[in-house]
């Protein structure tokens, strides 16, 4: 079983659907469903990785409030090691209210809370070195981890041969690229969505935008494009398009986090890059089918069944790899 250390935003999402409009004044509407989930480029991916069979440890700052206790309880239910969570007294746990539109779109009302306070001294480097991969979600939300002392942590991880995966939480901005600059050469796979990549680089074409990051030292880019799947951009090879899977969209919150979890699971099992991204894409389709970033995915077998239904060759290859990896 692979071990993945997940650093970055662990949030509580409160989601309701379907919301067509906020009622005027003190009016109210009756919804079909309201859910509370662990989410974020850290927490959401951590839960998905655990469901897919990885041994997961979480590293983040949370508040000493009800939401923080709920977050820890939920992570424990998935068997996730929470030793690396730091509780900040008097602060709030990061959280988001998401009124989900009938078409699955998700405007967000967000409190960052304690999230940004995570410091290099909060992160146990020895614990990271025990992992097979490190996912650093939302580095722009924890700026202190991008200071020289924080960058030293990721240099140590990289020097130990442990791959580093990075995704963004917030919309991409040119100043975020500036902030990420020292981290870029340490990233094996950068996995933003297309809008984040465009916002970060100011380049409209996603392949060109990804190549700009490769030129700054990023190892490879997997850019997700919602219902159009993903594009893999690596040095010296042609870009590869990875298809999306058909799904009935309920809520697209957390699709990208699940794509990351699926792709990491595939790569750690020894799958080809393309097959690993296909696992990611299948995870994204499953998450889109339910409310909340933890919806849709039950386990790896369910993801493999979705892949096998429309891509039988890839399904067989992936099943052979992941079964061997799980047995090892
Ligand atoms: N409508 C959809 N139909 C099928 N697959 C989808 C759909 N939306 C997302 N996906 C799958 O999920 C993956 C990630 O989605 P997306 O690009 O929306 O991520 P994101 O914007 O980073 O999401 P989040 O940040 O909320 O986790 C896509 O590459 C695709 O495979
Ligand atoms: Mg995302």
**250 lies in which domain range?**
3-20+33-327
Q: How many domains does the chain have?
A: 1
pLDDT at 245: 97
Residue 107 falls within a domain, yes or no?
yes
Residue of 225, 252, 263 to test ligand 1 pocket, by largest number of atoms within 8 Å of CB: 252
Residue 78: count of CB within 10 angstroms of its CB: 15
Query: With contact defined as beta carbons under 8 Å apart, do 160 and 166 qualify?
Result: no
The reported pLDDT for the residue numbered 87 is 98
Residues with CB under 6 A from ligand 1: 193, 224-227, 229-230, 244-245, 247, 249, 252-257, 259, 281, 284-285, 288
Whether residue 277 lies inside any domain: the answer is: yes
pLDDT at residue 325 in the model: 63
CA of residue 174 to ligand 1 center, whole Å:
23
Identify whether 27 is part of a domain: no
- Average pLDDT over every residue of 169-191: 97
Indicate the burial class of 158 (C-beta count within 10 angstroms; 0-12, 13-18, 19 or more): middle
Mean pLDDT of 209-231: 98
Residue 327 confidence (pLDDT) above 90: no
Helical H segments across the chain, by residue range: 40-51, 66-77, 125-129, 148-159, 174-180, 194-201, 206-215, 255-268, 273-288, 300-310, 312-327
Among 89-103, 234-248, 310-324, the least confident range: 310-324
- pLDDT category at 328 given cuts 50, 70, 90 is low
Omega of the bond leading into 18 within 30 degrees of 0 (cis) = yes
Could you tell me the pLDDT band of residue 294, with boundaries at 50, 70 and 90?
A: confident
User: Ligand 1 centre and the CA of 262: distance in Å?
Assistant: 12
28 located within any domain? no
Per-residue confidence at 52, pLDDT binned at 50, 70, 90? very high
Ligand 1 atom 12 nearest Cα: 284
Cα 49 to middle of ligand 2, angstroms = 15
CATH number at residue 150: 3.40.1190.20
* Residue 25 belongs to some domain of the structure: no
How many of the other CB atoms lie within 10 Å of CB of 108? 12
Q: pTM score, two decimals?
A: 0.97
Is 16 a domain residue?
yes
Does 26 map to a domain?
A: no
Nearest CA to ligand 1 atom 16: 226
- pLDDT above 90 for 221: yes
Average pLDDT score, the chain: 96
From 224, 254, 262, 266, give the residue whose CB has the most ligand 1 atoms within 8 Å, as the site to mutate. 224
Q: Ligand 2 centroid to 41 CA: how many Å?
A: 7
Q: Of all protein residues, whose CA lies closest to atom 31 belonging to ligand 1? A: 281
- Report the pLDDT value the prediction gives residue 104, as an integer from 0 to 100: 87
Q: For residues 323 and 174, which has the higher predicted lDDT (pLDDT)?
A: 174
Per residue in 184-214, pLDDT (tens digit) is: 999 999 999 999 999 999 999 999 999 999 9
Q: Distance, CA 192 to ligand 2 centroid (Å)? A: 6
What is the Å distance from ligand 1's center to 95 Cα? 21
Domain assignment present for 248: yes
């Amino acid at each position: 079983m692979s071990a993945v250390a997940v650093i970055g935003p662990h949030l509580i999402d409160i989601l309701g659907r379907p919301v067509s409009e906020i009622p005027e004044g003190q009016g109210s509407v009756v919804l079909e469903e309201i859910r509370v989930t662990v989410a974020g480029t850290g927490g959401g991916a951590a839960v998905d990785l655990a469901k897919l069979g990885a041994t997961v440890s979480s590293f983040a700052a949370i508040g000493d409030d009800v939401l923080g206790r709920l977050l820890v309880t939920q992570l424990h239910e998935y068997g996730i090691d929470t030793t690396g969570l730091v509780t900040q007294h008097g602060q709030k746990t990061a959280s988001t209210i998401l009124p989900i539109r009938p078409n699955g779109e998700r405007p967000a009302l967000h409190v960052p809370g304690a999230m940004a306070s995570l410091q290099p001294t909060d992160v146990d480097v020895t614990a990271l070195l025990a992992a097979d991969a490190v996912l650093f979600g939302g580095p722009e939300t924890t700026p202190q981890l991008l200071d020289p002392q924080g960058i030293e942590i990721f240099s140590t991880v990289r020097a130990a041969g442990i791959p580093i995966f990075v995704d963004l939480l917030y919309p991409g901005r040119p100043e975020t690229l500036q902030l990420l600059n020292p981290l870029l050469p340490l990233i094996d796979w950068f996995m933003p969505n297309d809008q984040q990549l465009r916002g970060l680089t100011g380049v409209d074409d996603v392949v060109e935008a990804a190549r700009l990051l490769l030129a700054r030292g990023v190892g490879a880019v997997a850019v997700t494009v919602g219902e159009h799947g993903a594009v893999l951009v690596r040095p010296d090879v042609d870009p590869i398009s990875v298809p999306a899977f058909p799904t009935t969209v309920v809520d697209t919150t957390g699709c990208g986090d699940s794509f990351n979890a699926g792709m990491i699971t595939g790569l750690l099992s020894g799958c080809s890059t393309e097959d690993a991204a296909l696992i990611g894409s299948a995870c994204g389709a499953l998450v889109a089918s339910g409310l909340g970033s933890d919806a849709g995915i039950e386990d790896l077998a369910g993801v493999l069944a979705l892949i096998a239904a429309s891509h039988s060759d890839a399904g067989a290859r992936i099943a052979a790899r992941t079964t061997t990896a799980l047995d090892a």
